[in-house]
């Protein structure tokens, strides 16, 4: 376990520390944490292509609410180990491997000693990984999800075709090719603010672009075919999995186009203690939206947290 960089990029609050920690299979992941909260500890799970520094502004909001915060770079992205050391494609051997990253983060002594109840905040792919963490019984007091990746648009149509290519193309390395229609470049570098699928807030989008321009190594291209097959398999399993009876608050924007809104709407009622909040006008990045949307989201979140902490 050695010290890792935590870059002083726009929005990143002071006072954080970062470490590299090995997982059970030897993958080194980067974990950052901010101490000093008295109410509890948030495990913040980013989405696919994301990185610790992107969540700086959210870390500050959670700190202001008296919470410690832990954020990690998943294997294959950010400054954690990447398959073949490539930033142009996102790949994972098995989706459950991400749970090794969670366990490794919690093994850091400073994090293990953080006070108060543990809460999970997960966005997009982090919401998929987070639901698995809940199902596997980590022992969390509550969870808050933003646009969780519990399903993908066109999932049924793509499922069998991708599975065939993943199996038959493996001897030729085609399982590590990008999913058709995706690109090796970074989304915020290739697309301007107008018409983007992430946020209505130009300030946040400019922050995303500034981060990647300053540190391209934080970026990630499209997913591989094998990643997609593993993701589809995990989402199918989680849709019918028994979740523990803990409070779960889920946010979904009416302008969601990245993950399947229909699946979220069907899954939340099947959670023992689930609550769905649909945010009018919100896109994929509910926590990085316009000031008005953020204000509404945090008012709802504060009411949720006040009942738990």
The string of DSSP codes covering 211-262 is HHHH-GGG---EEBHHHHHHHHHHHHHHHHSPPPS--EEEEEETT--SS-HH
**Predicted TM-score (pTM) of this structure:** 0.95
pLDDT in tens, 244-259: 999 999 999 999 999 9
Q: Work out the mean pLDDT of the chain and round it to a whole number.
A: 93
User: How far is the C-alpha of 166 from the C-alpha of 161, rounded, in Å?
Assistant: 9
Say whether pLDDT at 173 is over 90.
no
Q: Which of 68, 67, 92 is nearest to 81 (CA)?
A: 92
Q: Kindly report the CA angle at 16 between 105 and 13, in degrees rounded to 5?
A: 130
CB burial of 228-256 (b: ≥16 within 10 Å; e: otherwise) equals bbbbbebbeebeeeebbebbbbbbbbeeb
Q: What is the mean pLDDT of residues 125-142?
A: 97
Which of 147-151, 164-168, 223-227 tops mean pLDDT? Answer: 147-151
Q: What is the mean pLDDT of residues 21-47?
A: 97
181: left (phi over 0), alpha (psi -120 to 50) or beta: left
Say whether pLDDT at 165 is over 60.
no
Say whether pLDDT at 164 is over 80.
no
Q: What is the mean pLDDT of residues 59-84?
A: 97
Which band of pLDDT confidence, cut at 50, 70 and 90, is reported for residue 142?
Answer: very high
- CATH topology for 2-306 is Rossmann fold (3.40.50)
The first and second tokens of residue 308, run together, are 């738990």
Query: What's residue 106's pLDDT?
Result: 97
Query: What's residue 178's pLDDT?
Result: 86
Point out the least confidently predicted range of 53-67, 105-119, 177-191. Answer: 177-191
Q: What is the mean pLDDT of residues 37-54?
A: 97
Say whether pLDDT at 63 is over 80.
yes
User: How far is the C-alpha of 204 from the C-alpha of 126, rounded, in Å?
Assistant: 19
Query: What's residue 183's pLDDT?
Result: 85
Residue 152 near residue 124 (C-beta atoms within 8 A)? no
Cα 14 to its chain centre, rounded Å, is 22
How far CA 307 is from CA of 274, 278, 301, in Å, comes to 14, 20, 10
Q: What is the dihedral of CA 97, 102, 108, 111, to 10 degrees?
A: 180
Q: Which of 1, 167, 182 is nearest to 89 (CA)?
A: 182
The first and second tokens of residue 40, run together, are 């509890």
Cα 74 to its chain centre, rounded Å, is 8
pLDDT in tens, 256-284: 999 999 999 999 999 999 999 999 999 99
Say whether pLDDT at 202 is over 60.
yes
The first and second tokens of residue 151, run together, are 């399903």
- pLDDT above 90 as % of the chain: 86
Query: What's residue 123's pLDDT?
Result: 98
pLDDT in tens, 74-111: 999 999 999 989 999 999 999 999 999 999 999 999 99
Say whether pLDDT at 158 is over 50.
yes
User: How far is the C-alpha of 67 from the C-alpha of 55, rounded, in Å?
Assistant: 15
User: How far is the C-alpha of 174 from the C-alpha of 283, rounded, in Å?
Assistant: 33
Query: What's residue 172's pLDDT?
Result: 45
């Amino acid at each position: 376990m050695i010290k890792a960089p935590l870059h002083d990029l726009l929005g990143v609050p002071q006072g954080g520390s970062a470490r590299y920690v090995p997982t059970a299979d030897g993958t080194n992941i980067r974990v950052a944490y901010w101490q000093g909260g008295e109410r509890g500890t948030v495990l913040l799970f980013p989405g696919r292509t994301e990185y610790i520094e992107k969540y700086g502004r959210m870390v500050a909001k959670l700190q202001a609410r008296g919470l410690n915060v832990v954020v990690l770079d998943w294997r294959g992205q950010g400054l954690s180990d990447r398959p073949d050391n490539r930033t142009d494609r996102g790949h994972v051997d098995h989706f459950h491997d991400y749970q090794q990253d969670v366990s490794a983060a919690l093994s850091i002594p400073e994090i293990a000693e953080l006070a108060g109840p543990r809460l999970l905040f997960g966005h997009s792919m982090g919401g998929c990984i987070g639901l698995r963490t809940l199902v596997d019984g980590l022992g969390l007091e509550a969870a808050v999800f933003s646009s969780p990746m519990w399903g993908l648009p066109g999932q049924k149509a793509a499922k069998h075709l991708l599975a065939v290519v993943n199996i038959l193309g493996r001897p030729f390395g085609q399982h590590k090719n990008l999913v058709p229609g995706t690109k090796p470049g970074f989304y915020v570098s290739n697309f301007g603010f107008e018409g983007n699928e992430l946020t209505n807030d130009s300030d946040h989008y400019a922050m995303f672009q500034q981060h990647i321009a300053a540190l391209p190594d934080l970026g990630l291209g499209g997913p591989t075919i094998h990643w997609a097959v593993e993701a589809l398999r995990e989402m199918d399993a989680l849709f019918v999995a028994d979740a523990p009876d803990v409070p779960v608050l889920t946010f979904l924007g009416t302008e969601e186009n990245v993950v399947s809104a229909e699946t979220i709407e069907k899954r939340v009622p099947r959670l023992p203690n689930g609550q769905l909040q649909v945010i009018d006008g919100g896109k994929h990045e509910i926590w990085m939206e316009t000031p008005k949307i953020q204000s509404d989201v945090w008012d709802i979140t504060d009411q949720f947290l006040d009942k738990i902490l």
